[in-house]
Structure 1
Amino acid sequence: MLIKMTMLAFLGSVFPVILFNIDRRKIIWTGIAGAFGWIIYSIIFEITSSQVISSFWGAFAVNIYSEFMARKKKTPASMFYIPGIFPLVPGITAYSTISYIVENNFNDALNKGILTLSIGGAIAFGIMLSSTVVRFISKLKFKWSSN
Structure 2
Amino acid sequence: MDWIDFLIQFLSGLIVSLGFGIIYDIPKNNLFYSGLTGAVGWMISFVMIHVFDIHLFISTIAASFFIALFGQFFSRTLKTPVTLFIMPGLIPLVPGGVAFNMMRSFVGGDNASGAQYAIDTFLVAGALALGLALNSAVFQLFSTRNLFRRGRRYIP
Which residue of 28, 43, 61 corresponds with 2:66?
61
Computed over aligned residues only, the root mean square deviation of the Cα atoms, in angstroms, reads: 1.6
Q: Percent identity?
A: 26
Which residue of 5, 10, 26 corresponds with 2:14?
10
Which residue of 25, 39, 55 corresponds with 1:21?
25
CA distance in 2, matches of 1:29, 1:76: 12
Secondary structure at 1:85's aligned position in 2? helix
CA distance in 2, matches of 1:58, 1:104: 34
More helix by share: 1
Q: Does the 8 Å contact 1:67/1:131 carry over to 2?
A: no
Question: Which residues of structure 1 form unaligned runs of 5+?
Answer: none
The reply to whether residue 143 of structure 1 matches residue 155 of structure 2 is no
Secondary structure at 2:145's aligned position in 1? helix
* Aligned residue in 2 for 1:75: 80
* Aligned residue in 1 for 2:152: none
Deviation at 1:39, TM superposition (A): 1.3
CA distance in 2, matches of 1:131, 1:48: 27
Which residue of 20, 39, 44 corresponds with 1:40?
44
Q: Does the 8 Å contact 2:13/2:43 carry over to 1?
A: no
Deviation at 1:57, TM superposition (A): 0.7
Question: Which residues of structure 2 form unaligned runs of 5+?
Answer: 150-156
* Aligned residue in 2 for 1:126: 131
Q: Does the 8 Å contact 2:44/2:62 carry over to 1?
A: yes
The one-letter code of the counterpart of 1:20 is: Y
Q: Which whole-Å deviations, capped at 9, do the CAs of 1:64-97 have from their partners, x for residues lacking one? A: 0000110000011111000001000001100110
Which residue of 94, 109, 114 corresponds with 1:109?
114
**TM-score normalised by the chain length of structure 2:** 0.87
Deviation at 1:142, TM superposition (A): 2.5
Q: Does the 8 Å contact 1:31/1:84 carry over to 2?
A: yes
CA distance in 1, matches of 2:135, 2:112: 34
Q: Does the 8 Å contact 1:70/1:77 carry over to 2?
A: yes
Aligned positions, number: 144
